[in-house]
Structure 1
Amino acid sequence: MSTLSIDHVSRWFGNVVAVNDITMTVGPGVTGLLGPNGAGKSTLIHMMGGFLAPSHGSVTLDGQPVWRNEQIYRQIGVVPEREAMYDFLTGREFVLANAELHGLGAKAAQRALATVEMEYAQDRKVSTYSKGMRQRVKMASALVHDPSLLLLDEPFNGMDPRQRMQLMELLRRMGAEGRTVLFSSHILEEVEQLASHIEVIVAGRHAASGDFRKIRRLMTDRPHRYLVRSSDDRALAAALIADPSTSGIEVDLAEGALRIQAVDFARFTALLPRVAREQGIRLLTVSPSDESLESVFSYLVAA
């Protein structure tokens, strides 16, 4: 069992701060690293995997530094998001090359290919692979030396539903075996299905950490904004503004709609249809206007 420790880690490129003073601990099981695109997830994973030195702070695995520590690399497997691969090799040759770098042979390569269910395509050139197949053969190369720590950067990109289910089952199994598995994603549903523990990164900062259900509640309980069109916007606004579940209502004449801020999500979603029914008002449009991941994560940073 391995524990990865990130202690006050920052990384900057010139004047750009990609990761800003992050501290977290990743232990055995499956952890989701969640955040919008450009949040700094890839930079953080590169430092966790020993590909990039922190500008400040330290990354250690079971107390040993990761950066420039050849022995520790034997315990780490990394599946990068980038597609750069040796397309002229077959899948088997690609995985075997990584096995040989670890002093292993064809048996280890074959076992890794079987683990990701890529034996059927192992003699095809990587250039003929779909994006999902490339992801799986990268996974095989990361598993060839049986690492105790597995880092995956957006591993489900380009996978079809069947491939996604197979990979999720594989990662669950590895977590249950006691390995430390961390995967990044900007898709909430992927994390929800796979990880009970999550770390949230926004704009290079550590926004939240803990049990997925607790973080999900924070997301649900934040103020929500809605765009509502009805048969009588002014009457609807007058009825809603009196209730404590709303903190502000604006009549948008250009849109011909109400812009409503709700501070009690559960109460407001029950209130709106009830008020409309009681007042004889028809609801024509009810749509959230702030449901992007960026808005959710930005709220978590400020919470």
Structure 2
Amino acid sequence: MSTIVLDRVSRWYGNVVAVNDVSMTIAPGITGLLGPNGAGKSTLIAMMGGFLAPSTGTVALDGGAVWRNPAIYRAVGLVPEAEAMYDMITGWQFLLANARLHGLPDAPAAARRALETVDMVDASDRPIATYSKGMKQRVKMATALVHDPAVLLLDEPFNGMDPRQRLHLMDLLRRLASEGRTVLFSSHILEEVEQIADTIEVLVAGRHAASGDYRRIRRLMTERPHQYTVSSTDDRCLAAAIIAAGAADGVSVAGGSIAVQTSDFGRFTHALPRLAQESGVRLLEVDPADESLESVFAYLVAR
């Protein structure tokens, strides 16, 4: 069993800070690295895999430094987000080349096992140029598994996969984790992460925003203050009803709509239709004003 430890890791490019003072421990099991696009997830994974040096701080695998340590590649399998591949060769040739690069004693058998694992045997004699995005993702997964690593670092591995392929990969990751491996995968979709991750690490704008069980992270997101814009046939009447019922923390009427802030969005969303009906008011529009991933994660950073 292997563990990755990041200690106050930062990485910048000129004046741009991609990762800012991040400390976390990635233990055996499945860890989801969650954050909006541009949060620094790929940079962090590149540093964990030894492909990028931290500007400050350290990344260690089982106590040994990752940077400038080629020996770690015996234990690490990486699936990058980039789709750049050798399109002119077949999936089989690609896997066999990777097995030989790892110096495996029986490279053909290892390549075949990896293709079987990702359910790509039937398409293995086709040029990679003919593969769909989901198929390319599965071949990249096979190359990460060909040398039977203890650690898997997967950058957005579900991108481009159809529902059947996604379920297959989720089952595979669960099985690999049950064997004692350390699996980390990045995503910007919370629902994707919470289906399989034991632990979630949240990254926003290069900063470590939250860490722990996904249920706790989901609760933090759910219980944060929510803002809504409500339009109706009588905004002042409806606003008065919302205030009288105590269904929101703050209510204001301006510009032909009602601005509502509530820390209990479940109570508000259940009460709103009833209050409108009781007041003889027809709801025209109810829009969450701050439901983007960026705004949700920014709230976690500010805590």
Same-fold call, TM cutoff 0.5:
yes
User: How far off is 1:273 after superposition?
Assistant: 2.2
Q: Aligned pair count?
A: 301
User: How far off is 1:92 after superposition?
Assistant: 0.6
Q: Pick from 227, 248, 262 the counterpart of residue 250 of structure 2.
A: 248
Separation of aligned partners in 2, 1:178 and 1:195: 14
User: How far off is 1:225 after superposition?
Assistant: 0.9
Q: What code does the residue aligned with 1:166 have?
A: H
Q: Pick from 121, 135, 149 the counterpart of residue 133 of structure 1.
A: 135
Aligned residue in 2 for 1:12 = 12
Aligned residue in 1 for 2:271 = 271
Trace 1:1-303 onto structure 2 (pairs within 5 A).
1-104=1-104, 105-253=107-255, 256-303=256-303
Structure 1: tracts of 5 or more residues without a match:
none
Runs of 4 or more above 6 Å deviation: none
What secondary structure, in the 3-state scheme, does the structure 1 residue paired with 2:5 have? strand
User: How far off is 1:268 after superposition?
Assistant: 1.6
* CA contact 1:95–1:140 (8 Å) conserved in 2: yes
- Pick which of 39-48 and 240-249 moved more: 240-249
Separation of aligned partners in 1, 2:269 and 2:163: 32
* CA contact 1:135–1:155 (8 Å) conserved in 2: yes
Q: What code does the residue aligned with 1:247 have?
A: D
Deviations 1:152-177 (A, max 9, x none): 00001111111111111101111111
- Pick which of 257-266 and 109-118 moved more: 257-266
Q: TM-score, normalised by structure 2?
A: 0.97
Separation of aligned partners in 2, 1:58 and 1:12: 14
Q: What code does the residue aligned with 1:259 have?
A: A
Separation of aligned partners in 1, 2:122 and 2:270: 53
User: How far off is 1:244 after superposition?
Assistant: 4.5
Q: What code does the residue aligned with 1:13 have?
A: Y
Deviations 1:155-210 (A, max 9, x none): 01111111111111101111111110000000111011111310000000000000
Separation of aligned partners in 2, 1:25 and 1:168: 22
Structure 2: tracts of 5 or more residues without a match:
none
Identity, % of aligned positions: 70
* CA contact 1:207–1:297 (8 Å) conserved in 2: yes
Deviations 1:55-106 (A, max 9, x none): 1111111111111112111100000000111111100111111111110211
* CA contact 1:2–1:148 (8 Å) conserved in 2: yes
Q: What code does the residue aligned with 2:224 have?
A: R
Separation of aligned partners in 2, 1:42 and 1:233: 46
The two structures, once aligned, show a CA RMSD in angstroms of 1.1
- Pick which of 223-232 and 210-219 moved more: 223-232
Separation of aligned partners in 1, 2:239 and 2:260: 9
Deviations 1:193-237 (A, max 9, x none): 111310000000000000000000000001111121122110111
* CA contact 1:245–1:263 (8 Å) conserved in 2: no
* CA contact 1:40–1:204 (8 Å) conserved in 2: yes
* CA contact 1:66–1:73 (8 Å) conserved in 2: no
User: How far off is 1:239 after superposition?
Assistant: 1.8
Separation of aligned partners in 1, 2:176 and 2:230: 46
* CA contact 1:245–1:265 (8 Å) conserved in 2: no
